[in-house]
Amino acid sequence: MGKSSLLRWVERTAGSLGRPAAFVNARGLAGRSPSDLVLAAGEALGRRNEVKAALFAESALPGPGAAERALGLLAPVCLLVDEADALAERDHGFDRGFFDALRAMGQDGKLVWISASEHDLFDLFVMTGLTSAFLNDARKIHVGALSRAEAARFVEERTGGPTHTAWACELAGGFPPALGWIVDRLVEGRRDLAEVERELGRWVAPLFKLWWQRLDDGGRALLKRCAGEGEGEGEGLRVEALEDAERRRGRGLVDAGFLIEGEGRLRLQGRAWHDFVRDAG
């Protein structure tokens, strides 16, 4: 599922948020300005004329604060912004004042902002001179496999320390669903780690089967080789030993989160995924 599909799912289930949802593709805006964003939100809600009148009430061009006032007419609202990276591109029309206004609306309960982006917005905002304060109240959800550092931080923040961090990361790799399941067991006070590992294998098997079925034969074959066929189990494959086509396929599996690359080798993400791939028919 792509990030746009995730936002569309939120749009369909927005009734649980208690407010209408406006889906906007930031990269598809007529211009790169707050007014364009708000006008697109108004159109998504069937209120384009109302928003347009507020934006251009005093002149042919929106004046200072016009976008913020027009967005206030739509409140309370859930603003779903796809391709949010575009808001932070150079030569943007967005400024600190607009994002400060959005932050205030969020704190007042008038606005729920949910955005999807390929890159970290915090870093992009800093690079292009926008304020990052807008994102201080935000919760970032990484969709896909986490890096080892991200996985370790995820475990430690939720369990209160590093006691089981290495074990959890080695077992689950960077898969958020598996890490979340393990963390819940640790928070419950479970200390029989061998039993927790067996239970995780049973719980995660349906998800792994779904992923396995969606892979093509070439992808499954390469993962099988990484699981230990022909080399030491768990050591993965040396990238330099792969043919060009295999190397490209392997990099695609890395991008998808099924493999990790390091020290010149391709390895499977975590012991649970490794064991599933090794035993898969």
pLDDT at residue 201, as a whole number: 93
Q: What are φ and ψ of residue 77, in 5° steps? A: -145, 150
Average pLDDT (259-272) is 91
- In a 13 Å sphere around the CA of 155, the CA atoms on its Cβ side amount to 27
> Is 0.85 topped by the overall pTM?
no
CB 24 within 8 A of CB 82: yes
3-state secondary structure of 146: coil
Q: Whole-angstrom Cα distance, residue 86 to residue 228?
A: 43
- Statement: residue 63 has pLDDT above 90: no
Task: Grade residue 230 by pLDDT with cuts at 50, 70 and 90.
Answer: very low
CB-CB contact of 112 with 72 (8 Å): no
Question: Among 87-91, 131-135, 226-230, 252-256, which stretch is predicted with the lowest mean pLDDT?
Answer: 226-230
Q: What is the pLDDT at residue 142?
A: 62
User: At residue 104, does pLDDT exceed 60?
Assistant: yes
Q: Are 106 and 112 in contact (CB under 8 A)?
A: yes
Q: Confidence band (pLDDT; 50, 70, 90) for 234?
A: low
**Higher-pLDDT residue of 162, 138:** 162
pLDDT at position 132 is 67
Q: pLDDT tens digit string along 169-196?
A: 999 999 888 998 999 999 999 889 999 9
In the prediction, which pLDDT does 59 show? 63
Q: Where are the domains of the chain?
A: 3-137, 145-214, 216-281
Number of neighbours of residue 234 by Cβ within 10 angstroms: 14
Question: Rounded to the nearest 5°, which phi and psi values hold at 139?
Answer: -110, 120
Q: Are 103 and 61 in contact (CB under 8 A)?
A: no
Say if residue 76 is preceded by a cis peptide, omega within 30 of 0: yes
CA distances from 166 to 152, 184, 200 (A): 7, 16, 16
Buried b / exposed e across 107-131, counting CB within 10 Å, b at 16+? eeebbbbbbbbeeebbebbeeeebb
Banded pLDDT at 212 (limits 50, 70, 90): very high
Q: Are 94 and 100 in contact (CB under 8 A)?
A: no
pLDDT at 231: 46
User: Which of the two residues, 35 and 3, has the higher pLDDT score?
Assistant: 35
The rounded distance, in Å, linking the Cα atoms of 36 and 234 is 52
What is the model's pLDDT at position 45? 95
